[in-house]
Amino acid sequence: MADEKETKDVIEVPKKFEKIVEEIEKMSVIDLAELVKILEKKFGVSSAPVAVAMAPAAGTATAGEEEKSSYNVVLTAVGEKKIDVIKVIRDITQLGLKESKDIVDAAVSAPQTVKENVKKEEAEEMKKKFAVAGATVELK
């Protein structure tokens, strides 16, 4: 277990962020999820586009090819089996129960991106899981 901690410590954190990173490391997953939501509301941003913006830089494909081979999985309607949909979101995203429930609750009023930059085959699998749970999903 000590080896795992040493591996995490290898990441160099710039001095100006050390205090912030230390505070974040002390937080629970639930608190971190809440913090992300607060920051998203306060600054009018979403953590989701960050992942999309970084993905093309990491890949070697051009933007045109990237759009054809990867998709965003967007939950557009929950259906009547809300608990089943929450279970699917937890399975796909590895989020906790509260975070998954929050996504489902938000999807009632507006479509919610569940996962971004997913390969076509994986996105189709996710879509099937949501269909079994009674939810409607779009691949964008």
89 belongs to a structural domain: yes
Domains contained in the chain, number: 2
| pLDDT at residue 50, rounded to an integer | 41
Provide the pLDDT confidence category of residue 130 given band limits of 50, 70 and 90: confident
In this structure, are 138 and 76 located in the same domain?
yes
Comparing 72 with 32, the larger pLDDT belongs to 72
CATH of residue 115's domain is: 3.30.1390.10
Instruction: Indicate the range of 8-12, 95-99, 110-114 predicted with least confidence.
Output: 8-12
pLDDT of 53 above 50: no
* Residue 117 CB contacts under 8 Å (≥ 6 apart), including other chains: 51, 52, 55, 70, 71, 72
pLDDT of 108 above 70: yes
**What is the pTM (predicted TM-score) of this model?**
0.51
CA 81, CA 62: separation in Å to the nearest integer? Answer: 39
| pLDDT at residue 4, rounded to an integer | 47
55 belongs to a structural domain: no
In this structure, are 79 and 131 located in the same domain?
yes
Tokens standing for 2? 């000590």
127 belongs to a structural domain: yes
Nearest to 138 by CA among 127, 129, 93: 127
Q: Which domain holds residue 81?
A: 64-140
In this structure, are 69 and 30 located in the same domain?
no
Provide the pLDDT confidence category of residue 68 given band limits of 50, 70 and 90: low
Q: What is the mean pLDDT of residues 39-67?
A: 55
In this structure, are 37 and 69 located in the same domain?
no
Q: What is the mean pLDDT of residues 113-134?
A: 88
In this structure, are 70 and 107 located in the same domain?
yes
